[in-house]
Amino acid sequence: MNGHFQEFEDQYLITMYDFFESNPGQRVRTGDLASSLDVSPASATEMVQRLAAKGFIDYEPYKGALFTESGLIRGKKMKRRHRLAEVLLETLSFQGDIHETACRLEHAINDDLEVTLSLLLGHPVHGPVTFGTEMPDPSPEILDKIQSSESKIQLLNQLNVGETGVLDGMLMNDSDKATMNEIGLELGAVIQRTESGYMFGDGENLVCSPQLSSKLLIRV
């Protein structure tokens, strides 16, 4: 299938999932889908019929569309990837339109990247703070990969008291990185979590807010 057309299909399923979150089990009128996607009612009806033919949607003319089991699985997966992309962009202090950019990124996330982002972002249970949305649970196969992952990279705020790791990356802009460098915190620094916070170098205390500690990658 043409990749671009697959993106159109997934965008409809993501929008269907938005309606599902608000009213589970309720049919969605094609007119409401058209309004949400900013397309014509005729275009929405045509796509819904295509998705119904593929087994993703149960469609009844004049009544609307409803997820099938396979459609709900696909819609939930794509919505999760969209929100993971939003959380990543917010963590990176992205200055552009987070939602619009995530709409493009979500289609490039495969299973392996979804696992990596889940680990990297600390298994978020919510979307970005600015949107205040819940993070859909990972599919069973993704959850298995997450749980069996041997990744040694985690966020600083995931260190337990007494654990030590090496600073391996900074998910922040150049200005914030420069601030870190000014206090002597550079890539390769050894950081330990203590009862009162963090310590690095020759016993120097690191004053680190929850927001900052969620942007520092530690290799343990």
- pLDDT digit string, tens, across residues 2-50: 556 688 899 999 999 999 998 998 999 999 999 999 999 999 999 999 9
Higher pLDDT, 122 or 110: 110
pLDDT of residue 18: 93
pLDDT level of residue 134 (50, 70, 90 thresholds):
confident
pLDDT of residue 86: 92
Cα radius of gyration rounded to whole Å, the chain: 21
Dig out the tokens for 154 from the structure: 């985690």
pLDDT level of residue 129 (50, 70, 90 thresholds):
low
Which segment, 34-38, 117-121, 133-137, is predicted with the most confidence on average?
34-38
pLDDT of residue 92: 80
Dig out the tokens for 109 from the structure: 């996330």
- Annotate the chain with DSSP letters as a single string: --HHHHHHHHHHHHHHHHHHHHSTT--B-HHHHHHHHT--HHHHHHHHHHHHHTTSEEEETTTEEEE-HHHHHHHHHHHHHHHHHHHHHHHTT--S-HHHHHHHHGGG--HHHHHHHHHHTT--SB--TTTT-BPPPPPHHHHHHHHH----EEEGGGPPTT-EEEEEEE-S-HHHHHHHHHTT--TT-EEEE-SSSEEETTTEEE---HHHHTSEEEE-
Distance between CA atoms of residues 78 and 71, nearest Å: 11
Please determine, for residue 172, whether its predicted confidence score (pLDDT) is greater than 90. no
Weakest mean pLDDT among 5-19, 93-107, 178-192: 178-192
Weakest mean pLDDT among 66-75, 77-86, 176-185: 176-185
pLDDT level of residue 93 (50, 70, 90 thresholds):
confident
Residues in the chain: 220
Average pLDDT, the chain: 87
Please determine, for residue 137, whether its predicted confidence score (pLDDT) is greater than 50. yes
Percent of the chain past pLDDT 70, that is, above it, reads 95
Domains for the chain: give ranges and CATH numbers: 3-67 (1.10.10.10), 78-150 (1.10.10.10), 154-219 (2.30.30.90)
Q: Residue type for 215, please?
A: K
Burial (Cβ within 10 Å: 0-12, 13-18, ≥19) of residue 59: buried
The arithmetic mean of pLDDT across residues 51-59, rounded, is 96
Q: Which residue has the tokens 């330990």?
A: 192
pLDDT of residue 1: 45
> Which residues lie across from 59 on neighbouring strands?
65
